[in-house]
Structure 1
Amino acid sequence: MTKIVCTIGPSSDSAEMLKKMEKAGMNVARLNFSHGTHNEHETIFNRIRENCPNIAIAIDIAGPKIRIGKFKEAVSLEIGEKVTITNDESIISTKNYFSVNYKDLYKEVKVGSPIFINDGLVKLEVLEIDGSLIKCVVRDGGTISTRKGVNVPDSNLTLHVPTKKDIKDIEKACDLEVDYLFISFVRDVKDIKKIKEIIKSSTSQYIPIIAKIEHIDAVNNVKSIMKNCDGLMVARGDLGIEIGPERVPVLQKQYIQMGMELGKPVIVATQMLESMTIEPIPTRAEASDVAHAVFDGADAVMLSAETATGIHPITVINVMDQIIREAEKSDLTFIPRYKAKNIEESIGKAAVDIAQNLSAKAIIALTRTGYSSQMVSKYRLHLPIFASTPEKRTLRRVQLYWGVKPIFHTYETDYDQLVYTCISRLINEEHLKDDDTVVLVGGSYLGIPRKTNTIQVFNTNEVLAGKH
């Protein structure tokens, strides 16, 4: 039911590995545009499309992420050591003198400001601003290396989405016909509107936007952001630095419930099985973390370095899949009780209620956009939801929705024939059996997208008999 998003990198970008990852349980492949060139990403994108045609592909747009520069090798900083930060990106950084990719950082920090590096593992304190140089002392030591992230939570940075690089990356993503855009460091609804304008000027196709909540401004504006985008990612790494790790679990739960109420997917990300980047088994805390995201009702959980650069990406997907399945067997998962607010939600809720009352074996959503399946998914019934669609784009997008399994059908004007085709296929693939009850939802064929207004109940034997 809960989906798995996998980041693709050097450990996982071969055709053979991609096929194995899909078989292991990958639903969405994430390409991180913070690293690599457009040509490199296009090659991997096409490889995924060729080898895993039903997998959704998401491109993660970097946003105004501050990163340190190039190092010859990783270096360790010790507590009490002095370091200097420059905005000259042409240098090869050293242990005590390294660059950042934000030219104006020296203007926006002050003496006493904390600067965090590498997801907060290293903490510096600003001692002096000397021209464009930032002189610091190490307060918490640790290892840093090329392009590790930088956070300055106590400074109100003027950086906003989209950057010049973001615009080029979004245009490239549109050219590739990506299934989802993950947008980093969104701060308010204005950022979302700017992204939509770029998409609109780049393609005639609708591309869903997943806003990554990882900035304090986004926390304060999350309701308006959620209403104006297509889903959220709880990006816990940067978010934990911005607001403190103690607040993250509560916000994670709140955002998942908000997503369910609005019928929009929420992804939980960062450090879910991080130890498995190296180790063959997770820590008990990591297993609990994944399980609690499932209990909360997250649509998807995400793997980052675990599959991008980790030693055994297939093992980590298998482990995550096993944890998800065990958690979903329990009666601890959150069951939403939201009041339907429109026709589409009412149909989705009614379908769930009918399926429960009649002990149905599945709900089938006949859909062109995926919206009908979303309206069923939001009520979190532990029953297969099959999204039957003639649109390849929709086939991939529903991979992110909780509990939804895509099936493809050709365009069909004969409604009875379409129902017969769907049910006979599900029986042939052993998803359904003879004499099963199924609930079907969809939109009447008025040519209006996102109009779920029909609900029907069928017995599989009756449907099959009706065609003979």
Structure 2
Amino acid sequence: GRVCFFPRVVIVIPLSYAAVSPYRIHVYISFPFTRASIPSILHISCLTKKDREDLNYMLGIGVDWVALSFVQRPEDIVEIKRLIMEYNPTNAFTPHVMAKIEKPSCFVGDSLEKIVQLSDGIMVARGDLGVECAPEDVPILQKTIIDKCRKQGKPVVVATQMLESMIDNPTPTRAEASDAATAIYDGADAIMFSAESAAGMYPEEAVLMQQRIINRVEGDPHYSLYLTSNRPKITDGTSASAIILAARQIATNVNAKCIASFTVGGNTARLASMKRPEQPILAISPLIKTCRHLAMSWGVYPEYCAEGVLDTDNFRSMLAVACEIGLKKGLVSNDTDLLVVTALEEPDHEAKRLLGDDGLHEDVVVPVRGPPPRPRGDSIAGIGNRHHLRPGRRQVFLHRDSDNDSRITSLAFYSFVRGRHVTGPANDGRGGALGRGRRERYL
């Protein structure tokens, strides 16, 4: 029946059995508002006992993403992340959490911003969001969610009723095509099918139509102008962000066709995706889970490369791998089309991820070890040593803080003319280089 809640009184309005479909079981009850214009927040866990059992099972089989429905507040994300660490404490590379925004309570105060900050990805679940909110509010809320995600560099998926009519028809309505295009113009990283591919009569046609819409929009000059004018400003003050900004500008100036990134956790590629460069982003990682996670990010083409194949002590070998993969994927036609951004750190499988007491900060605790080994073989030698460089070659070295391997701390330009070298601070070999010579450009 229909349940109405009043202070201290519960009134149940019964419905005849004939009015209730026998297939509609386990239907949830919606509480849109406690009173006019005030979203309701039910102070209960968003995870049932069955949800916890399912989560434990999913961690056992190694899922890449866990989507949490009906998120109301940031504490819901903290709860599921704590459960993931509790159920699987030895796994340093835990599944990512995607928050499904379906409740108006997410928009109270700064809740949405904190939810985006805590989550690894966001889904705009427009179906249930449209039940909880007025239909005319959904387009505005969609743009608000996408904007918050863009500013924090988190992938965002727009879902529900994208091409709904293609469940029964081989072609969509023009309004549906326009709706899908609008999500792309807004800056979504992905648009998702539900019933169109899960239960529809034309799943293949629906996917092909959606791909045609995406290709058409991304080829529109207005789309490029929109991305250029709406690129989020990176104000975190980190050197890694500065490197990404410089890489995007360099790629444009040298007319590079692709930006390649060597990454372990995927942060470098995500930062590059956040700035929406004109070039595709090739993300090369020795971790298959990182590649799967990066598949959600805009413009990123992840590629798994085993640690035995990717020699991180030999930067020239890494460049050769990047060129080979770029050519194989058809992203470049020759080596001069590629610009490489690397902030590659040694993966630490003994590291443990911990949430702070406030639930808003995540730390990586790494066992104390000795200093990293010096570069070997053909790797780039340290500044202060003689470099066997061709006349006129210029390089940019990315230095990294010896006390913090995970951050790039300075960008220094050095010129080498006719074999002469420049003395300066020692380079421990963990940086990359940008150079012109042998028809290569890399960063």
User: TM-score normalised to the size of structure 1?
Assistant: 0.67
Q: Which residue of 2 aligns with 1:381?
A: 277
Shift of the alpha carbon at 1:379? 0.9
Aligned partner of 1:146 among 18, 21, 24:
24
Shift of the alpha carbon at 1:438? 2.0
Map of 1:268-417 to 2, 5 A cutoff?
Answer: 268-333=158-223, 334-335=226-227, 336-340=230-234, 341=236, 342-411=238-307, 412-413=311-312, 414-417=314-317
Change (3 A) 1:452 1:251: farther
- Deviation per CA, 1:53-101, whole angstroms, max 9, x where unpaired? xxxxxxxxxxxxxxxxxxxxxxxxxxxxxxx35xxxxxxxxxxxxxxxx
Shift of the alpha carbon at 1:200? 0.2
Residues 1:442 and 2:342 are matched in the alignment: yes
Q: Which residue of 2 aligns with 1:28?
A: none
- Deviation per CA, 1:121-158, whole angstroms, max 9, x where unpaired? xxxxxxx956xx43369xxx998943456533134445
State the one-letter code of the partner of 1:305.
A
State the one-letter code of the partner of 1:177.
G
Change (3 A) 1:288 1:431: same
Q: Distance in 2 between matches of 1:136 and 1:347?
A: 63
**Contact 2:163 2:172 (C-alpha < 8 Å) held by counterparts:** yes
Q: Which residue of 2 aligns with 1:31?
A: none
SS of match in other structure, 1:288: helix
**Contact 1:210 1:233 (C-alpha < 8 Å) held by counterparts:** yes
State the one-letter code of the partner of 2:85.
K
Shift of the alpha carbon at 1:450? 5.7
Higher relative contact order (CA 8 A, sep 6+): 1
Shift of the alpha carbon at 1:457? 4.1
Shift of the alpha carbon at 1:339? 2.7
SS of match in other structure, 1:462: coil
Shift of the alpha carbon at 1:393? 0.7
**Contact 2:263 2:345 (C-alpha < 8 Å) held by counterparts:** no
Residues 1:209 and 2:97 are matched in the alignment: yes
SS of match in other structure, 2:249: helix
- Deviation per CA, 1:373-393, whole angstroms, max 9, x where unpaired? 000000112311000011111
Q: Distance in 2 between matches of 1:455 and 1:303?
A: 40
- Deviation per CA, 1:315-368, whole angstroms, max 9, x where unpaired? 111111110000101123332333322222222222111111221100001011
Q: Distance in 1 between matches of 2:214 and 2:28?
A: 30
**Contact 1:437 1:460 (C-alpha < 8 Å) held by counterparts:** no
Q: Distance in 2 between matches of 1:307 and 1:349?
A: 38
Q: Which residue of 1 aligns with 2:375?
A: none
Aligned partner of 1:267 among 147, 153, 157:
157
Q: Which residue of 2 aligns with 1:16?
A: none
Q: Distance in 2 between matches of 1:456 and 1:296?
A: 35
Change (3 A) 1:149 1:284: farther
Q: Which residue of 2 aligns with 1:251?
A: 141
Q: Distance in 1 between matches of 2:437 and 2:153?
A: 29
Aligned partner of 1:191 among 67, 70, 76:
76
State the one-letter code of the partner of 1:224.
K
SS of match in other structure, 2:221: coil
User: TM-score normalised to the size of structure 2?
Assistant: 0.70
SS of match in other structure, 2:323: helix
Aligned residue-pair number: 340
- Deviation per CA, 1:173-213, whole angstroms, max 9, x where unpaired? 21121111111011111111110111001122322111111
Residues 1:420 and 2:314 are matched in the alignment: no
**Contact 1:213 1:219 (C-alpha < 8 Å) held by counterparts:** no
Runs of 4+ with >6 A deviation: 141-144
Q: Which residue of 2 aligns with 1:5?
A: none
Q: Distance in 2 between matches of 1:354 and 1:463?
A: 13
Map of 1:68-107 to 2, 5 A cutoff?
Answer: 84=1, 106=3
The range that moved more, 307-316 or 408-417, is: 408-417
Q: Distance in 2 between matches of 1:192 and 1:277?
A: 33
Quick one: percent identity of the two aligned structures?
32
Change (3 A) 1:459 1:364: farther
Shift of the alpha carbon at 1:160? 3.3
Q: Which residue of 2 aligns with 1:431?
A: 331
Q: Distance in 2 between matches of 1:356 and 1:255?
A: 29
Change (3 A) 1:452 1:284: farther
Q: Which residue of 2 aligns with 1:176?
A: 61
Structure 1 gap segments, 5+ residues each? 1-83, 86-105, 112-127
Shift of the alpha carbon at 1:371? 1.1
The range that moved more, 363-372 or 453-462, is: 453-462
Change (3 A) 1:409 1:281: same
Change (3 A) 1:352 1:185: same
**Contact 2:45 2:76 (C-alpha < 8 Å) held by counterparts:** yes
Change (3 A) 1:463 1:355: closer
Q: Distance in 2 between matches of 1:363 and 1:153?
A: 46
Q: Distance in 2 between matches of 1:296 and 1:160?
A: 32
Change (3 A) 1:143 1:299: farther
Q: Distance in 1 between matches of 2:261 and 2:306?
A: 15
Residues 1:462 and 2:439 are matched in the alignment: yes
Shift of the alpha carbon at 1:444? 4.7
**Contact 1:186 1:211 (C-alpha < 8 Å) held by counterparts:** yes
Change (3 A) 1:144 1:327: farther
State the one-letter code of the partner of 2:76.
D
State the one-letter code of the partner of 1:440.
V
Change (3 A) 1:320 1:455: farther
Q: Distance in 2 between matches of 1:271 and 1:289?
A: 9
Structure 2 gap segments, 5+ residues each? 35-39, 348-403, 410-430
CA RMSD of aligned residues (A): 2.8
Q: Distance in 2 between matches of 1:317 and 1:353?
A: 34
Change (3 A) 1:312 1:243: same
SS of match in other structure, 2:33: coil
State the one-letter code of the partner of 2:134.
G
